[in-house]
């Protein structure tokens, strides 16, 4: 099974195929998960997880969508147990080997990710929830709706890797890229309207704690692992990012889809689009030429993209400052591993790079 060929979060048909599946027969048990968590019933959580672990030969017969659905459902118990201070991999025999097998089959980390929790999570009565509260549903919905658009932005970004930004194709690609990126800002507006920072910090955040599997640490299904970091690398961060942010991107990349890990490796080593646009404008002093007009059009697309990212980052920072305020927080860092200070730095750098092409 080749994960590169099938792991496509841009396809609603593919995501819906995973959502419909219940390969381990856990629908009824997962409906009781919020109550188990409310009661802190570690024994029941461990029992359900232990009894749900399928034999290795059964996993070997699963299709890719079935593997994704199985990881999604088992992962809900991993996060729940960790929220109550227990590692599933310490108390459930065979869990380590089973999760590692699912990771190998999907070419992803050996635990659930933000994509399992959102894109591949059923909608409605079968939705897998830690708390069962409406604000949790709202957060899942916000991420679920914006990831496909950001995935399309990554696809457009790949087409721009070697495109001359002084051509009609380059300018059109930049406009398309900017249009897809707006989804992140819209989603964040919805989160600010429907999810309180206190709910996230005190109720939901504890379910996203990292776990250790076979000596390695893996973060929980954090929204920070959606492909915005890839878009940042493409637009400005590959050669204009800080050391801390690039290190953060390296860590986050391991928690994404196989194809996006490949993009991360490529884009980290390439000039950013900001640098390329600045160079294109510098090489087209006469804006009346076709090349000059297309370079300026590419610059306008880049400005729109960076404005959308700046708006998103500003709203995210408002939420994070409140969620991680000393009087509220349970943790020093976000569920994706970043600090409020890093978010402030990313916002500053995004604005600074926008200013590079802002007046042209």
Considering the domain architecture, whether residues 194 and 301 belong to the same structural domain is answered as: yes
Instruction: Label residue 143 by pLDDT band (50, 70, 90).
Output: very high
Please report the pLDDT score of residue 307 as a whole number: 95
Tens of pLDDT, residue by residue over 9-61, are: 888 889 999 999 999 999 999 999 999 999 999 999 999 999 999 999 999 99
Please report the pLDDT score of residue 142 as a whole number: 96
Please report the pLDDT score of residue 1 as a whole number: 46
Read off the CATH number of the domain in which 108 is found. 1.20.58.1320
Whether 242 is in a domain gets the answer yes
Considering the domain architecture, whether residues 88 and 198 belong to the same structural domain is answered as: no
Mean pLDDT of 101-123: 96
Considering the domain architecture, whether residues 221 and 86 belong to the same structural domain is answered as: no
CA 237 → CA 167, 240, 269, 316, distances in Å? 23, 5, 11, 18
CA 281 → CA 202, 213, 291, distances in Å? 49, 49, 9
Mean pLDDT of 314-319: 90
**Contact present, 267 and 352 (Cβ < 8 Å):** no
Mean pLDDT of 178-200: 94
Q: Which of 102, 117, 132 is the last residue of a domain?
A: 117
Among 59-68, 223-232, 286-295, 335-344, name the one with the lowest average pLDDT.
335-344
Whether 287 is in a domain gets the answer yes
Whether 133 is in a domain gets the answer no
Q: What is the crossing angle of helices 258-268 and 134-160, to 10°?
A: 50
Considering the domain architecture, whether residues 85 and 157 belong to the same structural domain is answered as: no
pLDDT at 264 over 70: yes
Instruction: Label residue 3 by pLDDT band (50, 70, 90).
Output: very low
pLDDT at 271 over 90: yes
Tens of pLDDT, residue by residue over 150-178, are: 999 999 999 998 899 999 999 999 999 99
Considering the domain architecture, whether residues 234 and 316 belong to the same structural domain is answered as: yes
Please report the pLDDT score of residue 336 as a whole number: 53
What percent of the chain is predicted at pLDDT more than 90? 79
Considering the domain architecture, whether residues 351 and 209 belong to the same structural domain is answered as: yes
Whether 255 is in a domain gets the answer yes
Considering the domain architecture, whether residues 192 and 332 belong to the same structural domain is answered as: yes
Bigger pLDDT: 278 vs 5: 278
Question: How many H-runs (helices) and E-runs (strands) does the chain carry?
Answer: 20, 2
pLDDT at 71 over 70: yes
Please report the pLDDT score of residue 196 as a whole number: 92
Mean pLDDT of 266-275: 96
Mean pLDDT of 196-201: 90
Instruction: Label residue 4 by pLDDT band (50, 70, 90).
Output: very low
Q: Which domain holds residue 43?
A: 3-117
pLDDT at 246 over 70: yes
Domain count, the chain: 2
Read off the CATH number of the domain in which 347 is found. 1.20.58.480
Give me the phi and psi of 252, to 5 degrees please. -65, -35
Tokens coding 114: 């933000």
Considering the domain architecture, whether residues 298 and 154 belong to the same structural domain is answered as: yes
Considering the domain architecture, whether residues 279 and 158 belong to the same structural domain is answered as: yes
Question: CA torsion angle for 216, 332, 121, 179 (degrees, to 10)?
Answer: -110
Whether 10 is in a domain gets the answer yes
Average pLDDT taken over every residue of the chain: 91
Mean pLDDT of 191-200: 92
Whether 124 is in a domain gets the answer no
Whether 132 is in a domain gets the answer no
Considering the domain architecture, whether residues 167 and 301 belong to the same structural domain is answered as: yes
Question: CA torsion angle for 36, 89, 96, 132 (degrees, to 10)?
Answer: 20
Strand partners, 217: 212
Considering the domain architecture, whether residues 240 and 332 belong to the same structural domain is answered as: yes
Instruction: Label residue 320 by pLDDT band (50, 70, 90).
Output: confident
Bigger pLDDT: 278 vs 329: 278
DSSP 271: -
Whether 243 is in a domain gets the answer yes
What percent of the chain is predicted at pLDDT more than 70? 93
Tens of pLDDT, residue by residue over 203-235, are: 999 999 999 999 999 999 988 899 999 999 999
Considering the domain architecture, whether residues 152 and 108 belong to the same structural domain is answered as: no
Bigger pLDDT: 287 vs 303: 303
**Contact present, 321 and 340 (Cβ < 8 Å):** yes
């Amino acid at each position: 099974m080749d994960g590169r060929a099938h792991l496509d979060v841009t396809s609603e048909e593919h995501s819906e195929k995973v959502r419909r599946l219940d390969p381990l027969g856990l629908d009824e048990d997962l409906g009781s998960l919020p109550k188990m968590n409310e009661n802190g019933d570690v024994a029941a959580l461990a029992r359900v997880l232990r009894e749900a672990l399928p034999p290795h030969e059964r996993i070997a017969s699963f299709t890719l969508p079935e593997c994704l659905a199985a990881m999604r459902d088992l992962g809900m118990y991993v996060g729940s147990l960790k929220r109550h201070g227990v590692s599933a991999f310490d108390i459930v025999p065979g869990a380590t080997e089973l999760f590692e097998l699912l990771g190998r089959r999907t070419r992803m980390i050996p635990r659930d990710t933000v994509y399992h929790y959102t894109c591949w999570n059923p909608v409605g009565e079968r939705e897998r929830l830690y708390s069962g509260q409406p604000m949790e549903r709202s957060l899942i919905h916000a991420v679920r709706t914006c990831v496909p658009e950001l995935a399309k932005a990554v696809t457009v970004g790949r087409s721009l890797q070697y495109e001359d930004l002084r051509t009609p194709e380059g300018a059109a690609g930049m406009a398309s890229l900017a249009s897809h990126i707006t989804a992140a800002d819209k989603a964040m507006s919805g989160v600010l309207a429907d999810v309180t920072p206190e709910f996230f910090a005190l109720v939901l955040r504890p379910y996203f704690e990292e776990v250790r599997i076979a000596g390695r640490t893996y973060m929980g299904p954090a929204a920070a692992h959606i492909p915005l970091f890839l878009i940042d690398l493409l637009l400005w961060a590959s050669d204009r990012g800080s050391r801390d942010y690039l290190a953060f991107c390296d860590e986050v990349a391991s928690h994404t889809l196989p194809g996006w890990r490949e993009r991360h490796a490529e884009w980290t080593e390439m000039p950013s689009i900001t640098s390329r646009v600045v160079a294109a404008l510098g090489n087209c002093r006469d804006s009346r030429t076709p090349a000059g007009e297309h370079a300026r059009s590419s610059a306008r697309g880049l400005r729109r993209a960076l404005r959308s990212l700046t708006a998103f980052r500003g709203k995210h920072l408002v939420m994070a400052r409140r969620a991680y305020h000393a009087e509220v927080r349970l943790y020093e860092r976000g569920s994706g591993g970043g600090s409020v200070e890093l978010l402030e730095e990313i916002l500053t750098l995004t604005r600074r790079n926008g200013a590079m092409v802002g007046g042209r």
